[in-house]
Amino acid sequence: MVNWSELAAGRTARLKPSAIREILKLTQRGDVISFAGGLPAPELFPVNAIRSAAERVLRDHGSAALQYSTTEGHPPLREWVASRYAGVGAEAVQIVSGSQQGLDLVAKCYLDPGDAVAVAAPTYPGALRAFDAYEVRYREVEIDDDGLVPASLQHALDDGVKLIYVIANFDNPTGVSLSLPRRHAVVDLARRYGVPIFEDNPYGDLRFEGHDLPHLLDLAPELVIHAGTFSKIMVPGFRLAWLVAPAEAMEPIRKAKQAADLHTSTFVQYVALEVARDGFLDERVTVVREHYRGRRDLMLGALERCLGEGFRWTRPAGGMFVWISVPDGLDTTVLAKDAVQAGVAYVPGEAFYGTGRGTDGLRLSYSVATPEQIDSGIARLAAILNGTTPPPASE
């Protein structure tokens, strides 16, 4: 008999299941309104466009699209990606199987056991889980309504940091964006300390108002590894994303990608490009933005109506998430169970910290809820948070 748990490599002790997936399991009960998952709205998936694109790809490029291909990615797709950035050539683009793979590859290539990564507190748990496998430590950086606080980042850098992880646009979990002055401050600090930045940008195209701000990549191309993805603007099931990085930085990443999976699905790359080309995707993104903007407005309106004194929440200008800070004395991990009993689910703040903090916050997503679910779900949630009797779950 083989004892698999004894045989498992030491690093597997650090692999934790996603707290969010555990909560999502609880929400399978039919009458629970879930603001927990951050899934894109499935009714926005361009199914017909994907069907006809797949047919055209098979008709016109059948054998090439079904063959092994290069690790770097399908050259015309790399060109399409490069054309979306100022001053980036196709050679700087590496196609990856989801930004999640990008996080893993970068950590594999640049983080040794014991290295410290500067992360916002709170931050995207998927990044923490990807980094955990490489036995790193975290230096938490405070954020406010303008994103990472430079003094706090500097404090972390003074303690010795190997990589800075930043979600500059419509952050997961807070919905907050890094302001323009802060973008400059963050790259200035990174330059001064000679520390690279991983800029994770899944939500940048989902802006509801205001103007696009420069990527950190635009401000400091020499020290930024930038990740973009098709997950939130096309479909997440393609597992298709990209990295942009300086040639020297990309070298080990390419080798690691080759060792991991040779290359990202050739067929998926062909089909995604076929859907994206000729401006279809840009038109589609306008529809996606309008949809989420409407849901965001409904959720903010409901929070305004229902939550009592002492609660604060973010007002995201894009993306999919709102973060609620609760008054002293409330514990969002404990209350999550009462909330599910009352028929509503959220993600407790603890899931977004590397260090066990966060019981004073929670994340809501408005991406998949219907308008009726937002109204009724926020009423139930508010009752739990305000300590009043929740309306019946059938309401």
Ligand X SMILES: Cc1ncc(COP(=O)(O)O)c(C=O)c1O
Give the binding site for ligand X (CB under 6 A): 38, 98-100, 124, 126, 167, 172, 200, 202, 229, 231, 236, 241
CB of 200 to ligand X, least distance (A): 5
Question: What Å distances lie between residue 234 and 36, 46, 63, 70, CA to CA?
Answer: 21, 7, 24, 23
Name the nearest CA neighbour of 73 among 39, 44, 107, 101: 101
Is residue 305 within 8 Å of 286, Cβ to Cβ? no
CB of 126 to ligand X, least distance (A): 5
Q: d(Cα 364, Cα 74) in Å, to the nearest integer?
A: 37
CB of 6 to ligand X, least distance (A): 32
CB of 217 to ligand X, least distance (A): 15
Q: Could you write out the three-class secondary structure of 142-163? A: EEECCEECHHHHHHHHHCCCCE
Give whichever of 93 and 241 is closer to ligand X, judged by the CB atom.
241
Give whichever of 119 and 382 is closer to ligand X, judged by the CB atom.
119
CB of 371 to ligand X, least distance (A): 23
Give me the phi and psi of 225, to 5 degrees please: -105, 115
Element (H, E) at 95: strand 93-96
Q: d(Cα 343, Cα 27) in Å, to the nearest integer?
A: 9
| Rounded-to-5 percentages of helix, strand, coil across the chain | 45, 15, 40
CB of 84 to ligand X, least distance (A): 15
Cβ-closest position to ligand X: 98
Give whichever of 72 and 171 is closer to ligand X, judged by the CB atom.
171
Give whichever of 191 and 289 is closer to ligand X, judged by the CB atom.
289
Give whichever of 46 and 126 is closer to ligand X, judged by the CB atom.
126
Give whichever of 78 and 380 is closer to ligand X, judged by the CB atom.
78
